[in-house]
């Protein structure tokens, strides 16, 4: 499938979707505290999405049961909200959410630390977030997709962190997943040319240890093979001739 180029009007609609998603993330942030269950957070998100007249993009996607993915500690992505999973001091929690507004998807994730976490884990969160920012800086018309991938890989591997290979970012628009895939690894200067009107969900998933992941028997939850903690940050980004625009900011 070819990479879809969005018109300025379509990008405006995606910007509205991204703004709604940002408000959902902002609404749940104060509730990410020790003692809260991941289902508590899910319920707040679901209520906010409804209040904004939006639709939860993940719920029902290949049978996925929730509006959020809530992945704790060694869980990488696709952890499912659960009343029995209660946050405690020293945990990290990745919250991934997608919404649909007026037919357009947006997708964003953030990793929180609960109370005090180990310095190495704080560093993991900082570097994963910084690698997303570095990747967004590479969203320049005339560049190559590999420039985005390499920016994440170089920054994270320089710190000794493991870059997950089994999950990647993606184009986004009237579907959650469009071409191209956006890996967090690979050589710069390679891959499709970046063009104005592309919209990408860029989402580094970075482990404190090795890059290997496996999926639990629930069919969804991806965890690190070595049990190391994992961080995930994601933005939906539009490429324009004036440079990248983060739609989920």
Name the segment binding Co ion (CB under 5 A); options: 130-138, 149-157, 194-202, 238-246: 194-202
d(Cα 41, Cα 43) in Å, to the nearest integer?
A: 5
Establish whether the linkage from the previous residue to 85 is cis, with ω within 30° of 0: no
Burial of 183 (0-12, 13-18, 19+ CB in 10 A): buried
Q: Report 5-44 residues binding ligand MF3 (CB under 6 A).
A: none
Name the segment binding ligand MF3 (CB under 6 A); options: 2-10, 62-70, 137-145, 209-217: 62-70
Q: Report 202-231 residues binding Co ion (CB under 5 A).
A: 203
Q: Does 58 bind ligand MF3 (CB under 6 A)?
A: yes
d(Cα 141, Cα 148) in Å, to the nearest integer?
A: 12
Q: Report 76-95 residues binding ligand MF3 (CB under 6 A).
A: 78
User: What tokens were used for 173?
Assistant: 């628009």
SS3 181: strand
Which residue, 23 or 123, is less far from ligand MF3 as judged by CB? 23
Other Cβ atoms within 10 Å of 238 Cβ, number = 24
Choosing among ligand MF3, Co ion, none, which partner's interface includes residue 69 (Cβ < 5 to 8 Å by kind)?
A: ligand MF3
Other Cβ atoms within 10 Å of 12 Cβ, number = 13
Which residue, 62 or 84, is less far from ligand MF3 as judged by CB? 62
Chain residues that interact with ligand MF3, rule: CB under 6 A? 58, 61-62, 64, 69, 78, 96, 98, 107, 170, 201
């Amino acid at each position: 499938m070819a990479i879809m180029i969005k018109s300025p009007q379509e990008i405006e609609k995606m910007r509205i979707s991204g703004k709604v998603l940002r408000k959902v993330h902002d609404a749940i942030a104060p509730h990410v505290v020790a003692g809260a269950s991941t289902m508590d957070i899910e319920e707040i998100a679901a209520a906010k999405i409804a209040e904004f007249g939006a639709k939860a993009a993940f719920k029902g996607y290949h049978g996925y049961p929730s509006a959020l993915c809530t992945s704790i500690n060694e869980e990488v992505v696709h952890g499912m909200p659960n009343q029995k999973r209660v946050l405690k001091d020293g945990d990290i929690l990745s919250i991934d959410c997608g919404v649909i507004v007026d037919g357009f998807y947006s997708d964003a994730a953030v990793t929180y630390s609960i109370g005090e976490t180990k310095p190495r884990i704080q560093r993991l969160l900082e570097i994963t977030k910084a690698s997303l920012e570095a990747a967004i800086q590479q969203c320049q018309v005339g560049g190559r997709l590999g420039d985005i991938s390499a920016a994440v890989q170089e920054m994270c591997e320089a710190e000794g962190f493991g870059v997950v290979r089994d999950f990647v970012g993606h184009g986004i628009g009237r579907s959650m997943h469009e071409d191209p895939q956006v890996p967090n690894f690979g050589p710069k200067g390679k891959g499709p040319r970046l063009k104005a009107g592309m919209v990408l969900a860029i989402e580094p998933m970075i482990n404190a240890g090795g890059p290997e992941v496996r999926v639990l028997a629930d069919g969804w939850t991806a965890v690190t093979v070595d049990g190391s903690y994992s961080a995930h940050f994601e933005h939906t980004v539009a490429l324009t001739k004036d440079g990248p625009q983060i739609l989920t900011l």
